[in-house]
Amino acid sequence: MRYKRATRYVLLIALALLAPSLLTNLVPRAHAVTYSLGTIPFLTQEGSTITLVFSVSGATGNTLYQFRFSVRDPASITHQSVLQNYTTLPGQTQFTLPPFYYPTSSFPGPNSLVGQYVTWADQVRPLLASNPVAATYFLIILTDNTEYQRTQTVNIHATGYGPSEQVNVKIATYTTSTTVFTQTLAASGTGVVVANWKIPRNATIDNNGYVLTINGTSTIKTPADIQGFNVRPAVMSISTLGSAKSIYQRTETMSFSFQPVYPDGTIASNGVALLTLARPDGMNLTLTTTYSSASQTFNATYKTTPYNQTGTWTTSLARGGYADSYGNSGPLASRNSTAQLVSATFTISMSATTYVPIGQPVKFNATISYPDGTRLQSGGSVFSYLVFSGSPPVNDTVPVIFDSGLNLWVGTYSRQATDPGGLWSLELRVGDSATPPNSGSATRAITIQDNLPVASFTYSPSTALTGVSISFDGTASYDPDGTIVTYSWAFGDGTLGSGSNPSHMYNLAGIFNVTLTVTDNSASTAPFSNQITIIDRQPTVTFSTSTTSQATGQPVTVTITASDPDGTISGTIVDWGDGSIDSVSGTTDSHSYTLTGAASSKTFTITVTVTDNSGQSASYTRDETIQATSSQGGVLSLPLYYFGILAAIIAALVAGGFFAFRRHRVTHARLKIDLEAVRSEAGRIENQEFFQSVKDQLRKDKDG
């Protein structure tokens, strides 16, 4: 009997949307005034409070309006509110009563019965010929909804039971009366019963719905707490259909995935889905998904080939394309994902000789692999080049073949005579026969040993004196595999030079080792050395003697002037011509001659020889005549007039001193000093050249 009542309430809920229009047609219209009555909420659980909203349009201004509201509960008992008053303002034609609520003290009535509550409004003032002016209804049920999906939770709320009363809550299928949930619990202190049922993923789908009954041990409700509700298959939420990559290369495996989610937020772990993969050429492929517990996703893959068409590939999951093992399915709308397929870039592993000595070939081997690891062994084009980026640039082709025994691509190149040494780039370029081709390249640095340049030079003149400019010519130097870029000279005397045709002057004599070092465009160097002889310049020397004629026994002094244009004087020898030879370090030397025999004079040849720091010497000669001297008893005899002259000079000096004495009245001591000065001056005059010449003349007269 209760199941029939539950069915009745399900039908009432189904007809709920039609009731407002039916009730509105029952309300008479007067004075062109319209009334509106609504409830918030329209559907709620036991124990809830309902808000009534009432509006009037076409009212009369400056008028008092009074309304009484009524509610007929599911037990067919009517409950009325107190009067609700509203006075319009002059000219006001519309108004809404302030919100009022059911049940309250001003509008008493139950809210603990399951079913339909009909409510209406009667206008008390101004009085109308007929009422009600507006009507509507609301529903109070036990659950928070009337239809659920699997995995959702049915929340149950009932009131009107005794405090702590034992209450049984039961849910069963309508068609088979199979109990799916039962629970006995105590009501709260205010008589509220709260329970919930988590609908499983595999809950029975009963087209007639489920029946919820609540029975207390002491409370009997009329009507009883019985309600029907429906359970539908879960609509699986699939937010996106994703691709592992947005761009794939040929031979890579495309991977697509999605994650189905139940209404309660849990993730599905079983079921199946078919994806459609549309190729750029218009052909479609069907992919079957499998579940991955690691990622908690359903995945489908497609292995591309080296020859698949490039472009946009689109995968799709149709509406409802996924279903788990219990018939829950989704999504509500199709999901799509796109990815680009591009030509593959080969991975090239290349081993090559990094340093190639002169006379040795360049060798390399390589493996050429697609992105999936498979190797290219034939087809297409495989080329290799040796590239030199220096000056001048060189680009040589290296033959490449596939060695099936080694399972390697190999290349060998023999160096050409004109190939420069230095840093080269070994490039391998690959393309297969696909359209467009899959391709790749690799580069390795190769150092080829440089051919050394050859240095050579000549110079002119072949020998030279110091201070003479010598021209050097290094243009005969060359580089067999490039060009000479610098010439560096070391002239052997501590000075350096540059350029192919320098000039240099030596300040010192000797044999000098000249070295030319040339550098080519690969920075390789080579030296060449040769010797050059520089001849020393002789020193120069002159001298003068103190007089033109000397007497025997008297010193002869020579003053020497010597110089060396390219060095210094290291030694001086004076040969006096009489067998005496002096080695001197200064610029003067003295010597006294002695005559033997009866000759009155004799001429001697004086030779001064100087030697410079290079061992070169030079000499200068001059004759010097030496006069013999005459004596009697060892005392020189002089003519009487010589003494007369001397006496006259002395007398003059004495007379001058006397007159000076008289004039200045000098003291005796001062006179004595002056006389001494006269004597001293007389002695000095005697030794002067004049008197010497007189003596010489006297000697000649005597010898004559």
Q: Is residue 633 part of a domain?
A: no
Mean local confidence (pLDDT), 546-567: 83
Q: What is the pLDDT of residue 628?
A: 82
Q: Across the chain, which distance is largest between two alpha carbons, in Å?
A: 204
> What is the SS3 string spanning 571-638?
EEEEECCCCCEEEECCCEEEEECCCCCCCCEEEEEEEEEEEECCCCEEEEEEEEEEECCCCECCECCC
The pLDDT value recorded for residue 651 is: 59
Q: Which of 55-64, 231-240, 246-255, 526-535 has the lowest mean pLDDT?
A: 526-535
- Cβ–Cβ under 8 Å, residues 666 and 674: yes
Most confident of 287-296, 633-642, 665-674: 287-296
pLDDT at 377: 92
Instruction: Say whether both 333 and 383 belong to one domain.
Output: no
What are the tens digits of pLDDT across the range 93-103?
Answer: 999 999 999 99
Most confident of 73-82, 358-367, 608-617: 73-82
Q: Is residue 441 in some structural domain?
A: yes
What is the per-residue pLDDT for 296?
97
Sheet holding 355-356, edge to edge: 355-356, 439-448, 422-431, 381-388, 394-398
Q: What is the pLDDT of residue 646?
A: 57
423 and 466 both lie in a single domain: no
Residue 600: inside a domain: yes
Angle at 419 between CA 413 and CA 420, to 5 degrees: 130
11: phi then psi, degrees, rounded to nearest 5: -65, -35
> What is the model's pLDDT at position 419?
85
Is 636 or 584 the better-scoring residue by pLDDT?
A: 584
Mean pLDDT of 234-263: 98
Considering the domain architecture, whether residues 200 and 326 belong to the same structural domain is answered as no
Residue 180 predicted with pLDDT over 60? yes
pLDDT for residue 579: 87
Going by their DSSP bridges, the two strands 272-278 and 322-323 should be labelled as antiparallel
Going by their DSSP bridges, the two strands 43-45 and 134-141 should be labelled as parallel
Q: Per DSSP, what are the bridge partners of residue 50?
A: 102
Mean pLDDT, residues 442-470 taken together: 91
Distance CA 389, CA 150 (A): 73
Host domain of residue 436: 347-448
- In our burial notation (b when 16+ CB lie closer than 10 A, e otherwise), range 361-376 reads ebebbbbbbbbeeeeb
Say if 304 falls within a structural domain: yes
DSSP E strands, 389-505? 394-398, 400-403, 408-413, 422-431, 439-448, 458-460, 463-465, 469-473, 484-490, 496-498, 503-505
Instruction: State residue 630's pLDDT score.
Output: 56
pLDDT value at residue 481:
78
Q: Which two tokens stand for residue 139?
A: 């529903």
The pLDDT tens digits of the residues spanning 389-433 come to 987 899 999 999 999 999 999 999 998 888 888 899 999 999 999
Residues 71, 119 within the same domain: yes
Closest alpha carbon to 617 in 556, 558, 559, 575: 575
pLDDT bin (cut points 50, 70, 90) of residue 462 is confident
635 and 628 in contact (C-beta within 8 Å)? no
pTM across the whole model = 0.60
488-497 CB contacts, 8 Å cutoff, 24+ apart = 488/516, 488/517, 488/518, 488/519, 489/514, 489/515, 489/516, 489/517, 490/514, 490/515, 490/517, 492/532, 497/472
Check whether residue 10 and residue 112 sit in a common domain: yes
Tell me if 420 sits within 8 A of 482, measured CB to CB.
yes
What's the average model confidence in pLDDT over 349-359?
92
The stretch 517-530 carries a mean pLDDT of: 90
Domain containing 413 — which CATH number? 2.60.40.1930
- Tens digits of per-residue pLDDT, 53-77? 999 999 999 999 999 999 999 999 9
Q: How far is residue 601's CA from residue 676's CA, in Å, rounded to a whole number? A: 40
- Of 185, 201, 232, the position where a domain reaches its end is 232
Q: Residue 69: what pLDDT?
A: 98
Give me the pLDDT at residue 171, please.
99
**The pair of three-digit structure tokens given for residue 482, joined into one six-digit string:** 């490039």
Q: Looking at residues 650-672, what average pLDDT do you find?
A: 47
CATH number at residue 135: 2.60.40.10
Same domain, 152 and 221: yes
pLDDT at 407: 94
pLDDT at 635 over 60: no
> Average of pLDDT values for 653-670?
46
Please indicate, yes or no, whether residues 100 and 25 belong to a single structural domain of this protein: yes
Ranking 160-174, 347-361, 556-570, 666-680 by mean pLDDT, the lowest is 666-680
Whether 267 and 309 map to the same domain: the answer is: yes
pLDDT category, 288, cuts 50, 70, 90?
very high
Mean pLDDT of 539-551: 81
CA–CA dist 400, 333 (Å, integer): 56
Mean pLDDT of all residues belonging to the chain: 87
The domain boundary, picked from 86, 116, 141, lies at 141
Q: What is the per-residue pLDDT for 242?
A: 97
pLDDT band at 644 (very low <50, low <70, confident <90, very high): low
- pLDDT score at 678: 42
Q: What percent of the chain has pLDDT over 90?
A: 68
Indicate the pLDDT class of residue 671, thresholds 50, 70 and 90.
very low
Quick one: 252 and 324 in the same domain? yes
The number of domains in the chain is 7
Burial of residue 8, with CB atoms counted within 10 A of its CB: 0-12 exposed, 13-18 middle, 19 or more buried = middle
Quote the pLDDT of residue 287: 98
Q: Is residue 545 part of a domain?
A: yes
pLDDT for 535? 87
Q: Mean pLDDT over residues 230-252, rounded? A: 98
**How many angstroms separate the CA atoms of 258 and 277, rounded?**
14
Check residue 695 and give left, alpha or beta (phi > 0: left; psi -120 to 50: alpha).
Answer: alpha
Average pLDDT, integer, range 549-572: 86
Pair (109, 133) in one structural domain: yes
User: Are residue 596 and residue 466 in the same domain, yes or no?
Assistant: no
Answer yes or no: is 453 within a domain.
no
Summarised one tens digit per residue, pLDDT across range 7-21 is 444 444 444 444 444
- Confirm if 538 and 563 have CB atoms less than 8 A apart: no
pLDDT band at 564 (very low <50, low <70, confident <90, very high): confident
